[in-house]
Structure 1
Amino acid sequence: MANRGVTIADVANKANVSKSTVSQYLNNRFEYMSEETRIRIQNVISELDYQPNIVARSLKMKSTSTIGVIVANILHAYSTQVIRAIENVCNGNNISTIICNSDDNPKKEKEYIETLLSKQVDGLIILPTNGNYKLYQRLVKQEYPIVFLDRLVEGISTDVVLLDNEKASTIAVEHFVEQGYKDIAIVTTSIIDNITPRIERINGYKNALKKNDLIVNPDYIVAMELDSLDRGLDKVFSLDKKPDAIISGNDLTLMEILKYASKQDLKVGEDFGLITIDEVSFSSFHSPTLTTIAQPTLEMGTEAAEILLSKIINKKPEKSPKLHRHEPLLIIRESTKEKKHFRDI
């Protein structure tokens, strides 16, 4: 547990340097110190478990008119779309944005957070990896402006902007049922790290099946890393009772499903119905056109930016941080046409 009584003076005394030298170290200004001094300060900070007060440091400096945005995977259509909206809001308020991609890697995310803090950004919008609880908690306790996007972290009290994920998969199941489908599978990326959208979408899927008096078949739930999804799909389509419909958990799993179908000569809309959560740019001209559950990404990115800027301007935390849920939208196309004349596979 961190020793909250440790000060910058304590670090300086033990490292036998001045407080200004420690301050320079904390701000990554290593030009005028030797490698030996840098290592000594680093070791003392680790030994004393010193944690600089981010707010106290930032109060000594003027606003940088810059915020940091850390996304989990910049390849997601969701990420690029919310970034666009965040940048629009910030640009309109003369705020610059620094975009970082954590690759869903907690170590990389931590490094980016620390780098952005050292650059004295005025606030952070993060799609959290769920792997840096103590760091998130410290920022919140120090009343540093921070907003989470797309994901919850249990125990961290800050504003979160995200989709009503359970409703998204519920809408998908109910549309399939209306079209005559009964054996519905869901395919998403790994749930090992308890990533909010993946967990909530599977929960919504299960609850919707039960509500419609359909059996929850564990063999129809595929949650794996992207590079393993073809094996998961192989297993599903090798079952005696194959699924007649698939819900894709996001745009990246959609690409894997489409590649698998092409390789196996499976026809979307004929061999199985398909709905993907996340609107994709090619959905309206793919053959067949793809039914999607769209997220209001521009509204979500806009709201996240506006909440953060309000925190920065008011310099006071919200008394009761809120969970801001957004409504999913079903866009019906040809990949979920009424089930009839399906080929035997």
Structure 2
Amino acid sequence: MKTVTMKDVAEHANVSKSTVSQYLNKRFDYMGEKTKERIEKAIEELGYQPNIIARSLKQKSTSTIGVIVANILHAFSTQVIRAIEDHCHESDFHIIVCNADDNPEKEKKYIEMLLAKQVDGLIIFPTGGNVELYKRLLKANYPIVFLDRMVEGVNIPSIMLDNEKASSLAVAHFIEMGYERIGMITTSTSLNVVTRIERVNGFKKTLNANQLPMTEDYIKSLEVKEIQNSLENMLKQAHPPQALLAGNDLVLMEILKFVKAHSIRIPTDLAIIGIDDVGFAELYNPALTTVAQPTYEMGKQAAELILLKIQGKNEMDDLNRFEPTLIKRESC
């Protein structure tokens, strides 16, 4: 079957090739409605498909953004991706999503693959393990934005939650409800993931500010597979914590599994608050108190910022913090 060309469309619509090109690139502010209708009808009747590769070579743009998430299992990741995709779609950009599994080597391979595909920019939830690569991209003035995390010594714009405040809101609510022995579990800080470190710092600062005991046995940063055993050891102590803060949604899931397996009553036996407002929080029995992130707004701002950088503009601060919100329900 003969490939339909832009010239065929132009002849079928009785217009010039340049007019068809303007139509395809949505530069038709001064184009008459009847002309647009003829071109649209010609494209439909001929089954014309624009050559995206040829267009990207000509424009030196693939209209594509790479998004590398640290762990796609997080509800936060999928919610933010949706916001990025929505905003990029409005600007006729596509996204390619990659999951690094919090593995610096995997992240490095994805960055190199996306660069080989000539994506116009990158939004990365950085593992923190590729500092020299981040710096090379920065030095080359390549459009890049960090999301959810920042990396010390790398001056790439970052969009983050006020993580210390997120923990502080949770601890303050525990205290308000009368709890004194308060614990926290977060995923591993072995890679110096700033988000997790800040949440632990906010937890400790709020306990100190309220002159409450800070028991190191109640504060754990672990691999997900280690959480069940740690909970067993923590809760079988003579004086176990009365309340637990889950540092993210994956930790919350592990705590809820443990609670169910050991017939622990919430909040009678153990009060729980989770950072990240998971979709089932309101449906769980009892409904779960959470600290929510403005995920959609954060994803939208990441998309806005990367598109500005692709255009050679940067009208936002290097660090953009978003406010967390405590959603009071029945688990505390």
TM superposition shift of 1:197: 1.4
Which residue number corresponds to residue 173 of structure 1?
Answer: 171
Give the greater-gyration-radius structure (CA).
2
Q: Map of 1:176-191 to 2, 5 A cutoff?
A: 176-191=174-189
TM superposition shift of 1:265: 1.3
TM superposition shift of 1:137: 0.2
Which residue number corresponds to residue 87 of structure 1?
Answer: 85
1:272 and 2:288 matched: no
Which residue number corresponds to residue 320 of structure 2?
Answer: 324
Preserved contact between residue 188 and residue 248 of structure 1 (Cα < 8 Å): yes
Q: Secondary structure at the match of 1:100?
A: strand
Q: What amino acid maps onto 1:133 in structure 2?
A: V
Q: What amino acid maps onto 2:179 in structure 1?
A: Y
Which residue number corresponds to residue 301 of structure 2?
Answer: 303
Paired with 1:316 and 1:284, the residues of 2 have a C-alpha distance of 41
Q: 1:129 aligns with which of 119, 127, 130?
A: 127
Q: Secondary structure at the match of 2:331?
A: helix
Paired with 1:94 and 1:61, the residues of 2 have a C-alpha distance of 14
TM superposition shift of 1:61: 6.6
Q: What amino acid maps onto 1:281 in structure 2?
A: G
Q: Secondary structure at the match of 2:185?
A: strand
Paired with 1:335 and 1:211, the residues of 2 have a C-alpha distance of 24
TM superposition shift of 1:59: 10
Q: 1:144 aligns with which of 142, 145, 153?
A: 142
Identity of aligned residues (%): 55
Paired with 2:255 and 2:264, the residues of 1 have a C-alpha distance of 10
Which residue number corresponds to residue 254 of structure 2?
Answer: 256
Paired with 2:100 and 2:248, the residues of 1 have a C-alpha distance of 18
Paired with 1:243 and 1:233, the residues of 2 have a C-alpha distance of 10
Preserved contact between residue 149 and residue 194 of structure 2 (Cα < 8 Å): yes
Deviations 1:10-61 (A, max 9, x none): xxxxxxxxxxxxxxxxxxxxxxxxxxxxxxxxxxxxxxxxxxxxxxxx9997
Which residue number corresponds to residue 289 of structure 2?
Answer: 291
Q: What amino acid maps onto 1:190 in structure 2?
A: S
TM superposition shift of 1:317: 5.7
Which residue number corresponds to residue 201 of structure 1?
Answer: 199
Deviations 1:169-228 (A, max 9, x none): 000000010000110000111111111111000000000000111011101101110011
Preserved contact between residue 157 and residue 321 of structure 1 (Cα < 8 Å): no
Preserved contact between residue 187 and residue 196 of structure 2 (Cα < 8 Å): yes
State how many pairs are aligned.
277
TM-score normalised per structure 2: 0.81
Paired with 2:314 and 2:113, the residues of 1 have a C-alpha distance of 23
Preserved contact between residue 187 and residue 221 of structure 1 (Cα < 8 Å): yes
Q: Map of 1:210-225 to 2, 5 A cutoff?
A: 210-225=208-223
Paired with 1:113 and 1:316, the residues of 2 have a C-alpha distance of 22
Preserved contact between residue 100 and residue 112 of structure 1 (Cα < 8 Å): yes
Q: Secondary structure at the match of 2:84?
A: helix
Which residue number corresponds to residue 72 of structure 2?
Answer: 74
Q: What amino acid maps onto 1:205 in structure 2?
A: F
Paired with 1:261 and 1:162, the residues of 2 have a C-alpha distance of 31
Deviations 1:104-141 (A, max 9, x none): 11111000000000011000000000000000000001
Q: Secondary structure at the match of 2:113?
A: helix
Q: Secondary structure at the match of 1:181?
A: coil
Paired with 1:237 and 1:283, the residues of 2 have a C-alpha distance of 23
Q: Secondary structure at the match of 1:301?
A: helix
Q: Secondary structure at the match of 1:97?
A: strand
Paired with 2:70 and 2:271, the residues of 1 have a C-alpha distance of 29
The Cα RMSD (Å) is 1.5
Preserved contact between residue 145 and residue 311 of structure 1 (Cα < 8 Å): yes
Which residue number corresponds to residue 104 of structure 2?
Answer: 106
| Cα distance, 1:75–1:160 mapped onto 2, change above 3 Å | same
| Cα distance, 1:121–1:145 mapped onto 2, change above 3 Å | same
Which residue number corresponds to residue 114 of structure 2?
Answer: 116
